[in-house]
């Protein structure tokens, strides 16, 4: 699958591109079945919400699940990523954000690239994420909010939050390590506006590593599960041999170009 000239222009202008119905029902069912199985296991990268009542996220599922390992190689994800990044790509990170009904916690305003730059030594923002809706997402169950065009601000350097947990856990908690200042959020929203990423399950959203985003708590009776695949340009892989690194479920070690898996 290739993106059109207009779709690429939209991504470059807004920092995101949303396409509905891209993931088939049987593909979703395979992923959801695998998530149900994973939720009964104690794999590295499982993160609880701060209240401890539900899971917040599963990281690195492709490292132990054949279903996820095949899913990341589908041409419908790989080819657009290669077009946008203008290079071969590898998977730097995979996570399932769960946001359970009634108890899923917020994600504060942030850019993703700052984590990959400061924690993983990725030299530039030639990196993007692909978000797949595993549930129907509306205004009630905690959708992602984007500030359209905010990626054009480039990398915004901020200090670590004093309230954030130590270690890699602070990178994935409700008290994120690197948060964009509220006064800047206000000025950027005044300039660019807000976009709420909503749609039916199977919707796919590509978004830039510097696009500022957040999501509210889920107090609705509906789950909001999303799968996020982060593809990095092979030429942008970190040079981090011999230094302390985040766990593999956050900082992928296999940086060879991914080959496509032919779809049925």
Beta carbons of 171 and 177 less than 8 angstroms apart: yes
Give the per-residue pLDDT at 264: 43
Report the pLDDT averaged over residues 122-136.
98
Rounded to whole angstroms, how far apart are CA atoms 89 and 83? 10
pLDDT tens digits, one per residue of 10-30: 999 999 999 999 999 999 999
pLDDT tens digits, one per residue of 36-57: 999 999 999 999 999 998 999 9
pLDDT at 263 over 70: no
Domain boundaries, the chain: 5-236
pLDDT at 180 over 70: yes
> Residues 6 or more apart from 3 whose CB is under 8 A from it?
11, 17, 79, 80, 83, 84
Entry pTM: 0.96
pLDDT tens digits, one per residue of 71-97: 999 999 999 999 999 999 999 999 999
Q: Which residue has the higher pLDDT, 230 or 161?
A: 230
Q: Find the length of the chain.
A: 264
Give the per-residue pLDDT at 140: 98
Tokens of 244: 């302390």
- The CATH number of 5-236 is 2.60.120.620
DSSP assignment letter at 40:
T
């Amino acid at each position: 699958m290739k993106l059109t000239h207009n779709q690429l222009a939209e991504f470059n202008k807004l920092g995101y591109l949303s396409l509905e119905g891209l993931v088939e029902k049987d593909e979703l069912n395979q992923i959801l079945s695998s998530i149900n199985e994973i939720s009964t296991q104690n794999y590295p990268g499982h993160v609880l919400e701060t209240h401890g009542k539900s899971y917040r996220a599963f990281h690195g599922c492709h490292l132990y699940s054949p279903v996820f390992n095949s899913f990341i190689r589908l041409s419908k994800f790989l080819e657009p990523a290669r077009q946008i990044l203008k290079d071969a790509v590898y998977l730097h990170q995979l996570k399932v954000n769960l946001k359970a009904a009634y108890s899923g916690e917020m994600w504060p305003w942030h850019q993703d690239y700052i984590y990959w730059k400061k924690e993983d030594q990725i030299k530039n923002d030639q990196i993007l994420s692909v978000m797949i809706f595993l549930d129907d997402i509306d205004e009630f169950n905690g959708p992602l909010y984007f500030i359209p065009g905010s990626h054009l601000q480039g990398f915004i350097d901020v200090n670590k939050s004093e309230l954030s947990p130590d270690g890699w856990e602070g990178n994935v908690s409700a008290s994120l390590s690197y948060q964009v200042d509220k006064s800047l959020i206000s000025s950027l929203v005044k300039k660019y506006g807000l976009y709420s990423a909503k749609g039916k399950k199977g919707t796919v959203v590509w978004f830039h590593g510097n696009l500022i985003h957040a999501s509210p708590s889920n107090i609705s009776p509906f789950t909001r599960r999303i799968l996020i695949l982060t593809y990095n340009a092979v030429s942008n892989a970190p040079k981090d041999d011999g230094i302390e690194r985040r766990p593999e479920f956050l900082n992928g070690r296999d940086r060879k170009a991914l080959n496509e898996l032919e779809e049925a």
